[in-house]
Structure 1
Amino acid sequence: MRLDKINTEEAFRYLGYGISAPDEQTAEIAADCERKLLEVIDAKYTYKYFEIDKNDSEPGSIALCGTSLRLCGGAIFEHLEGCNGVVLFAATLSDGVDRLIRQLSVISMASAVITDSMASAAVEQVCDIAEQEIIKEFAGKYTTWRFSPGYGDFPLETQALFLNVLCAQKRIGVNITGGGLMTPCKSVTAVIGVSDYEIERKRRGCSVCMMKDTCRFRKKGEHCGV
């Protein structure tokens, strides 16, 4: 999957600009960073569907049929209320983006930081595209928005088994480091709930975000848009 354009407005929000426009010099650097980034992005995603095991009675978690992966925490439990199945998916910009950011950090830290923010915006664009393509496979069903490990009390530690279940290393080249971080670093895992019946589309917001305590938008009384 290739992107034609990066959501630079979102990237500048990540950099703390809020609704302000960057100065001319920064905008010129950003344009160059976007061009370089688009050249190296090789976006990929993979997914699998699992039925929820309705016979499982362990409190505070959700068991999936055909896998040992459990989705733990009140946040994901609430998010999937009314669902009979889930889509697990992972997406990545691939390792060329990591290499570009490392190279730029030696030449220009400003370019590296801007490129990193642009890559964060880009991987969310890829997830948006992937989510829409996946949902098309479930025509006639009802779906939730994507919910990632780290939101609320949905443990980040889930990601190792999550990726293993998806065979993500083989399929899209995503793995977990010894420190528990995904590599390539611009990668995302998420869960989409699937139901035969209409379900409440719960609002996204600060309450389920793993960044809520340190978020620079929140400290300024702003919102990231999620």
Structure 2
Amino acid sequence: MNINKNEVLRYLGYKNQPIDENLNELIDSCIDEIKEISDPRYICNIFDVKVFENEVQLSNTNLTLRGRDITNHLRNSKKCAVLASTLGVKVDNRIGYLERVDMTRALILDACATEAIESICNEVEDGIREPARKEGLDINYRYSPGYGDLPIDVQPHILNVLNAEKK
């Protein structure tokens, strides 16, 4: 798992201001901690899609993605890769604990976790790109529940369709 420190700094709102040595060491320590406690996993399936006016149906599932933004995003799509990923419960538990005892470290650890999960998703996306091209397809950018008008409460339905809890 790659954690790009420049991306961590971007998530923290860094704008090229000086960083003192203590903060720099804390960021490095948090990057190391995320690598140590993470148990990265993902699942991805590709579904044929039917795009309607304000909804996208994933073929052979009961999942419908509703909203004009996701419809516009997938308007010209024949297929949709659906991905779920996690760094594992230890990361969430550690951040939760730190939010009570060391908010600075919690914030930095959260930024490191964000970059770590993005890195994993980028790797999965890279793995999808070449097979898609072989089928004469291209891939769009990732789109997640909570973006635009795609409700975040669709997440459990996505996990169910992917059978993520068991796999």
Shared fold (TM-score, shorter chain, > 0.5): yes
Unpaired runs of 5+ residues, structure 1, are: 172-226
> Following superposition of structure 1 onto structure 2, how do residues 93-108 of structure 1 map, counting pairs within 5 Å?
93-105=87-99, 107-108=101-102
Counting aligned pairs with the same residue, the percent is 34
**Amino acid of the structure 2 residue aligned with 1:153:** D
What SS class does the counterpart of residue 81 from structure 1 fall into?
coil
Deviations 1:91-139 (A, max 9, x none): 1111121233234445533222211111111111111111111223323
Q: Which has the higher helix share?
A: 2
- Of residues 127, 146, 155, the one that matches 2:142 is 146
Tell me which residue corresponds to 1:126. 120
Deviations 1:1-38 (A, max 9, x none): xx1x4122222222222233422111111111111111
Q: Distance in 2 between matches of 1:117 and 1:143?
A: 27
- Of residues 153, 156, 165, the one that matches 1:160 is 156
What SS class does the counterpart of residue 104 from structure 2 fall into?
helix
**Amino acid of the structure 2 residue aligned with 1:147:** Y
Q: Distance in 2 between matches of 1:119 and 1:133?
A: 21
Tell me which residue corresponds to 1:192. none
Instruction: Tell me if the contact between 1:53 and 1:65 (Cα under 8 Å) persists in the aligned partners.
Output: yes
RMSD, aligned α-carbons: 1.8
- Of residues 54, 60, 70, the one that matches 1:66 is 60
Tell me which residue corresponds to 2:4. 7
Q: Distance in 2 between matches of 1:148 and 1:68?
A: 18
**Amino acid of the structure 1 residue aligned with 2:60:** G
**Amino acid of the structure 2 residue aligned with 1:45:** Y
Structure 1 residue 155: Cα displacement: 1.4
Q: Distance in 2 between matches of 1:107 and 1:68?
A: 43
Q: Distance in 2 between matches of 1:20 and 1:121?
A: 20
Q: Distance in 1 between matches of 2:90 and 2:24?
A: 23
Q: Distance in 2 between matches of 1:160 and 1:134?
A: 23
Deviations 1:39-97 (A, max 9, x none): 1122111011111236xx5x311122101111111111111121111111111111121
Instruction: Tell me if the contact between 1:37 and 1:100 (Cα under 8 Å) persists in the aligned partners.
Output: no
Q: How many residues align?
A: 165
Unpaired runs of 5+ residues, structure 2, are: none
Q: Distance in 2 between matches of 1:131 and 1:119?
A: 18
Instruction: Tell me if the contact between 1:63 and 1:69 (Cα under 8 Å) persists in the aligned partners.
Output: yes
Instruction: Tell me if the contact between 1:69 and 1:162 (Cα under 8 Å) persists in the aligned partners.
Output: yes
**Amino acid of the structure 2 residue aligned with 1:144:** N
**Amino acid of the structure 2 residue aligned with 1:98:** D
Q: Distance in 2 between matches of 1:46 and 1:67?
A: 16
What SS class does the counterpart of residue 83 from structure 1 fall into?
coil
Instruction: Tell me if the contact between 1:13 and 1:19 (Cα under 8 Å) persists in the aligned partners.
Output: no
- Calculate the TM-score normalised by the size of structure 1: 0.67
Tell me which residue corresponds to 1:22. 19
What SS class does the counterpart of residue 152 from structure 2 fall into?
coil
